[in-house]
A and B are shown apart, each in its own frame.
Chain A
């Protein structure tokens, strides 16, 4: 697809065209800078009635509801909901582990497709999109903007992102939670290979800052099945020590560790109100995104 004059390998125009039919909603009120399709915590001038409020000196007398005065002999001001756009902050894990992929596609490539598509959808509906790449530190970041030219920069960063180094995800997430203004949509794509307990504080930090957090947790099928038939030497993609193991011997403990991890992570994302999506790399990313967007249409707009 040629957006901004270049063809991007991680963007499928037909898939984008299909996905664009479903709007991207936030699950809670957002604070934008222009009018949009998302609920705002502030009162505004939309056609949707919000409430009556007692008149206080200084209020615009043009907003007095004379009918209410006639019924109650008191002065009330009629207020309406405001609609705004949102700031969508995309976070891409670019640690070395994201370079893994046994089925012909690496996690980083899968993440590019998800984030690129979401960025396109958001900009198309007038939302601001920013991108942050995280490894040991914040590798690259671009603040949210809603202009199509800004989208090109986002795509460039996605295209040029290279998985490398160790993961320091938790610290960077805290940093982002603090620096991103309140009430934004945070989309994190990562393999989250770290103790779930460490992630808990980061997710709760986002929640405290009233961000709407969505997580795409990427798994390679081989990481789940751990199906090996002969002794293996596992080299750490993030530069850690290698492990020599007899897979038939360690498989049961591996699966047990995986189960414990997933169960604990589930508890954490439920507690932190994270929109969590566990994704296998052999799944169609368009289907994953469609499910993601469709689910949000059902939970949108809590002001």
Chain B
């Protein structure tokens, strides 16, 4: 329990006052010579539990009454976080606020969202505490913002909801950096979140680093978690998975694919009207949902007389979370998919050329050109979506060109050169060639994302059937997408901002691997990289909120946006935006639609050994986290006084009247 006036607790010894008075009263006894000892001794022997404890009960009531008074004037705070708030002054209070779309889920009893409820609770509770400094770190901007008082949370823009996912470890890292830079004497960290697995990234190694850093921190920090873990099973979300513009015999049309997900899987089918808004017109698409998700593929929408480039929005009827009921999209004619193969060894070029040049979609035009490394400087790179580099790593002259491609969003896949290569790119460099005695196979690969992910039907690529006879080791920090049975990587991704640089440690040539002969894996890999790279060339882009460099949004202008969007927050708010000739659709990430939360045990493990408390709150529960409860103690005091008065009431025994008539003889 904490107190707003803890100094008053020094008066607690006064609760002994009734006992002292009782003892003094006992000392004031009178002595009398008494004849009727017979009745006194008999009365003493009478076993009456209540009579024996009555005096002690009276003393107890008086003591509790005094204690109640002292506690009342000490202004105690009470709630589920009763034990959390430390008494006395706090130097710095840091509020970590999860503003992700999932925090927009409304409660079942009220229209308040989790974020509104969290802010309200924080304002009510923290305003009762004393702190020299208030700091807000929100999930979108992730930068410490000094607040004048907790009440500012109700008006400040940085506490408003966003479409960007939260990165709780990154927010805690910001807390650690803040503590390191400012060295506050005593810090309380209040973390409000709905425990979404995507936001917490609980399996990340960053948590161990953070925990260790906080444990070793010289500044005492106490963590409080205000968790809103409940989810609404009836919630639905809508998402546009793809858009394409194609020319048909009847004219130009937009092909749009939609996916509607339900929070929980159900066999019960549900009919849902999906509203499609495009170029000022609105169309309703009825969809039948069963199971956990339903996808509508390539819904055709005629673009007669309309430009081939534009934006639109799909919405579904309101449910418990308004933020996942709409999705913005932009469309344009597909950009050319141009691949450049840089190679000085013609042996592997053919396989790469074929994999990059054959399209699975007849409407797409693919082009492949092969250049030798010394002609890189003379090549036009403006329209290149994919660069396949089958040569020594770029040198000082060519590296800036490749880097500009990487920065632009084009995909780059490096294959190992036969010659010695001392070069480095994206902090990776080739090691030595390895030729094991027997052919190696791929033991593990990442199947849920990236180049080797399973196909849409869920079937895995035949990566395990590949046979590797010769490969080259790789030095440097990377993310392994496929590993050989020897432990060395087959395909890995360099650590870059856009995650678009790959290294394949073997070549698609006979004698090195079966990548070319069993060409499915190579083809899918190349086509996926090509498709991804082509998006960087298009004049329209689908972006995830929060993953956009704020500097790039400075010249954006909104096409459609919500009321809460300001020009400084385009990168965090869903909407359609224009920048010169390019269109951008910003939406929540796909992971926001998955209601998986971090388990309680896991949360406890993440804060293991740290001063940590957790309170699970319900939206609209109405119970404040911290509230003054001095009226309760006053009530207790009054009740104790009443009880004491009742106990002190004299017995209903005639004290002056004789129990039986006197002066009357009993005549036998």
Q: Which of B30, B34, B42 has the most CB of A within 10 A?
A: B34
For B659, give its contact among A245, A250, A262, A274 (CB under 8 Å).
A262
Q: Are A225 and B34 in contact (CB under 8 A)?
A: no
Q: Which residues of A contact B43 (CB under 8 A)?
A: 250, 253-254, 256-257
Complex: how many Å from CA A141 to CA B111? 103
Q: Are B663 and A233 in contact (CB under 8 A)?
A: no
Q: Are B653 and A246 in contact (CB under 8 A)?
A: no
Tell me the smallest distance from the CB of A124 to a CB of chain B, in Å: 23
For B33, give its contact among A98, A227, A237 (CB under 8 Å).
A237
Q: Are B34 and A235 in contact (CB under 8 A)?
A: yes
Could you list some 6 contacts between A and B, CB below 8 A? Answer: A231-B29, A233-B30, A237-B37, A238-B37, A243-B34, A258-B39
Q: Assess A233 versus B665: contact at CB under 8 Å? Given A254-B43, A257-B39, A257-B42.
A: no
Of the 9-residue stretches B44-52, B379-387, B477-485, which lies at the interface with chain A?
A: B44-52
Q: Assess A275 versus B32: contact at CB under 8 Å? Given A250-B40, A254-B39, A257-B43.
A: no
Q: Are B39 and A227 in contact (CB under 8 A)?
A: no
In the complex, whether A232 has a CB less than 8 A from a CB of chain B is yes
Q: Are B55 and A223 in contact (CB under 8 A)?
A: no
Q: Which residues of A contact B48 (CB under 8 A)?
A: 253
Tell me the smallest distance from the CB of A73 to a CB of chain B, in Å: 47
Q: Which residues of B contact A224 (CB under 8 A)?
A: 658-659, 662
In the complex, whether B551 has a CB less than 8 A from a CB of chain A is no
Q: Are B37 and A288 in contact (CB under 8 A)?
A: no
Q: Are B34 and A234 in contact (CB under 8 A)?
A: yes
Q: Are B28 and A232 in contact (CB under 8 A)?
A: no
Complex: how many Å from CA A256 to CA B44? 11
In the complex, whether B156 has a CB less than 8 A from a CB of chain A is no
Q: Are B651 and A280 in contact (CB under 8 A)?
A: no
Of the 9-residue stretches A110-118, A146-154, A173-181, A291-299, which lies at the interface with chain B?
A: A291-299
Q: Are A273 and B659 in contact (CB under 8 A)?
A: no
In the complex, whether B38 has a CB less than 8 A from a CB of chain A is yes
Q: Assess A276 versus B38: contact at CB under 8 Å? Given A232-B32, A262-B660.
A: no
In the complex, whether A48 has a CB less than 8 A from a CB of chain B is no
Complex interface bits, B649-668 against A, C-beta within 8 A gives 1, otherwise 0: 01101011011101111111
Q: Are A234 and B40 in contact (CB under 8 A)?
A: yes
Q: Are B653 and A235 in contact (CB under 8 A)?
A: no
Tell me the smallest distance from the CB of B235 to a CB of chain A, in Å: 67
Q: Are A275 and B667 in contact (CB under 8 A)?
A: yes
Question: Of residues 43 to 89 in B, which have CB atoms within 8 Å of A's CB atoms?
Answer: 43-44, 46, 48, 51, 54-55
Q: Which residues of B contact A191 (CB under 8 A)?
A: 35-36
Complex interface bits, A264-293 against B, C-beta within 8 A gives 1, otherwise 0: 001001101111111110010001100110
Chain B residues at the A interface, C-beta cutoff of 8 Å: 25-26, 28-44, 46, 48, 51, 54-55, 650-651, 653, 655-656, 658-660, 662-668
Q: Are B35 and A107 in contact (CB under 8 A)?
A: yes
For A234, give its contact among B32, B656, B662 (CB under 8 Å).
B32
Tell me the smallest distance from the CB of A133 to a CB of chain B, in Å: 17
Q: Assess A255 versus B659: contact at CB under 8 Å? Given A191-B35, A223-B35, A236-B37.
A: yes
If A224-B658, A228-B30 are given as contacts, then 7 extra A-B residue pairs at C-beta distance below 8 Å, sorted by A number, are A231-B25, A234-B32, A246-B26, A249-B55, A253-B51, A258-B36, A270-B666
Complex: how many Å from CA A269 to CA B667? 9
Q: Assess A255 versus B653: contact at CB under 8 Å? Given A224-B659, A249-B51, A273-B668.
A: yes
Complex: how many Å from CA A194 to CA B123? 76
Tell me the smallest distance from the CB of B41 to a CB of chain A, in Å: 7
In the complex, whether A97 has a CB less than 8 A from a CB of chain B is yes
Tell me the smallest distance from the CB of A256 to a CB of chain B, in Å: 7
In the complex, whether A230 has a CB less than 8 A from a CB of chain B is yes
Chain A residues at the B interface, C-beta cutoff of 8 Å: 96-100, 107, 191, 193-194, 219-220, 223-228, 230-238, 240, 243-246, 248-259, 261-263, 266, 269-270, 272-280, 283, 287-288, 291-292, 295, 299
For B28, give its contact among A231, A257, A273 (CB under 8 Å).
A231
Q: Are B666 and A232 in contact (CB under 8 A)?
A: no
For B46, give its contact among A225, A256, A280 (CB under 8 Å).
A256
Q: Are B40 and A245 in contact (CB under 8 A)?
A: yes
Q: Are A278 and B37 in contact (CB under 8 A)?
A: no
Q: Which residues of B contact A272 (CB under 8 A)?
A: 668
Which A residue's beta carbon lies closest to that of B29?
A231
Q: Assess A227 versus B34: contact at CB under 8 Å? Given A270-B668, A277-B665.
A: no
For B663, give its contact among A232, A246, A283 (CB under 8 Å).
A283
Q: Which of A251, A257, A270 has the most CB of B within 10 A?
A: A257
Complex: how many Å from CA A176 to CA B668? 21
Which B residue's beta carbon lies closest to that of A283?
B663
Q: Which residues of B contact A251 (CB under 8 A)?
A: 651, 653, 655
Tell me the smallest distance from the CB of B617 to a CB of chain A, in Å: 51
Q: Which residues of B contact A236 (CB under 8 A)?
A: 34, 37
Q: Are A278 and B663 in contact (CB under 8 A)?
A: yes
Q: Which residues of A contact B54 (CB under 8 A)?
A: 249
Complex: how many Å from CA A237 to CA B33? 6
Q: Which residues of A contact B55 (CB under 8 A)?
A: 246, 249
Which A residue's beta carbon lies closest to that of B36?
A223
Q: Are B665 and A295 in contact (CB under 8 A)?
A: yes
Q: Which of A99, A223, A249, A280 has the most CB of B within 10 A?
A: A249
Q: Are B666 and A261 in contact (CB under 8 A)?
A: no
Q: Are B665 and A276 in contact (CB under 8 A)?
A: yes
Q: Which residues of A contact B51 (CB under 8 A)?
A: 249, 252-253
Q: Are B44 and A227 in contact (CB under 8 A)?
A: no
For B44, give its contact among A220, A223, A250, A266 (CB under 8 Å).
A250
5 shortest interchain CB distances as A-B pairs: A100-B35, A97-B35, A253-B43, A273-B668, A231-B29
Q: Which residues of A contact B662 (CB under 8 A)?
A: 219, 224, 278-280, 283
Which B residue's beta carbon lies closest to that of A255?
B653
Q: Are A230 and B28 in contact (CB under 8 A)?
A: yes
Which B residue's beta carbon lies closest to that of A269?
B666
Q: Are B650 and A235 in contact (CB under 8 A)?
A: no
Q: Are A234 and B37 in contact (CB under 8 A)?
A: yes
Tell me the smallest distance from the CB of A166 to a CB of chain B, in Å: 11
Q: Which residues of A contact B653 (CB under 8 A)?
A: 251-252, 255
Complex: how many Å from CA A263 to CA B666? 12
Complex: how many Å from CA A99 to CA B309? 123
Q: Assess A278 versus B665: contact at CB under 8 Å? Given A232-B29, A246-B55.
A: yes
Tell me the smallest distance from the CB of A286 to a CB of chain B, in Å: 12
Q: Which residues of B contact A254 (CB under 8 A)?
A: 39-40, 43
Q: Which residues of B contact A223 (CB under 8 A)?
A: 35-36, 39
Q: Are B40 and A243 in contact (CB under 8 A)?
A: yes
Q: Which residues of A contact B667 (CB under 8 A)?
A: 275-276, 295, 299
Q: Are A193 and B655 in contact (CB under 8 A)?
A: no
Q: Which residues of B contact A245 (CB under 8 A)?
A: 40, 44
Complex: how many Å from CA A173 to CA B278? 123
For B656, give its contact among A227, A230, A263, A270 (CB under 8 Å).
A227
Complex: how many Å from CA A99 to CA B660? 24
Q: Are B663 and A230 in contact (CB under 8 A)?
A: no
Complex: how many Å from CA A257 to CA B41? 9
Q: Are A226 and B668 in contact (CB under 8 A)?
A: no
Q: Which residues of B contact A276 (CB under 8 A)?
A: 665-668
Q: Assess A237 versus B31: contact at CB under 8 Å? Given A225-B655, A253-B48, A255-B653.
A: no
For A279, give its contact among B25, B38, B663 (CB under 8 Å).
B663
Q: Are B37 and A292 in contact (CB under 8 A)?
A: no
Complex: how many Å from CA A276 to CA B663? 10
For B35, give its contact among A230, A231, A237 (CB under 8 Å).
A237
Q: Which residues of A contact B656 (CB under 8 A)?
A: 225, 227
Q: Which residues of B contact A240 (CB under 8 A)?
A: 37
Tell me the smallest distance from the CB of A235 to a CB of chain B, in Å: 5
Q: Assess A291 versus B663: contact at CB under 8 Å? Given A231-B29, A233-B31, A234-B32.
A: yes
Q: Which residues of A contact B46 (CB under 8 A)?
A: 253, 256-257
Q: Which residues of A contact B41 (CB under 8 A)?
A: 243
Q: Assess A227 versus B655: contact at CB under 8 Å? Given A243-B44, A272-B668.
A: yes
Q: Which residues of A contact B36 (CB under 8 A)?
A: 97, 100, 191, 193, 220, 223, 258
Q: Are B650 and A248 in contact (CB under 8 A)?
A: yes
